[in-house]
Homo-oligomer: A and B are copies of this chain.
Amino acid sequence: MLRELTIGALARRTGLSVSAIRFYEERGLIHPGRNAGGQRRFARSDIRRLSFVLIAQRLGYTINEIAARLAGLPDGRVPDADDWQVMAEGFRTELDARIALMQEFRDKLDGCIGCGCLSLKNCALYNPEDRAATKGVGPRYLLGDRPAPIQDTPAPRAL
């Protein structure tokens, strides 16, 4: 039984594409070694690592966020159960918060359906102030959590 995996083998084991794995390396999610011929050689623990990446992505985390979480794992040695546990706990906390927020939104939506208020100033879902108050939560392409908008009005032209 081989101790190391080629990129193709890792792709088959994780369901990822070869190019995605190379990309993940570039973004710092995995750090494969190289053989004499310059080809990547992956540790078996990288399967786990990539599985974690996939799960986290499904939950809405960006690659950068995932990289930050993975940074908690030892890089020199193969991560053991304790390493994973520590990391997964922080992850779980965030997940709980995220679920709570979705439920909150759902309940608000329920309220709005019940009273048919989706148009009222005091509707929690509708209210822009409210949105500002709950920022930093949703899915990911809310990148940087939408900075102050209302632009348009090009810079004063010189001359």
Contacts and interface: CB of A to CB of B under 8 A. Distances in A.
Given A58-B139, A59-B105, A139-B57, A132 B95 contact: no
A114 to B, nearest CB: 9
B20 A149 contact: yes
Contact of A99 (B81, B102, B142): B102
A142 B58 contact: yes
Question: How many copies of the chain does the oligomer comprise?
Answer: 2
A26 interface: no
Given A119-B81, A141-B141, A151-B17, A125 B60 contact: no
Q: Which 9 A-B pairs have the closest CB atoms?
A: A17-B149, A58-B138, A81-B116, A60-B139, A18-B152, A15-B128, A84-B118, A139-B139, A51-B126
23 contacts: A8-B152, A15-B131, A15-B149, A15-B150, A18-B152, A51-B125, A55-B125, A57-B138, A58-B105, A58-B138, A59-B102, A59-B105, A60-B60, A60-B138, A81-B118, A81-B119, A84-B112, A84-B116, A84-B119, A85-B116, A92-B106, A92-B110, A96-B106
Interface of A: 8, 11-20, 45, 48, 51-52, 54-55, 57-60, 81-82, 84-85, 88-89, 91-92, 95-96, 98-99, 102-103, 105-106, 109-110, 112-113, 116-119, 125-126, 128, 131-132, 137-142, 149-152
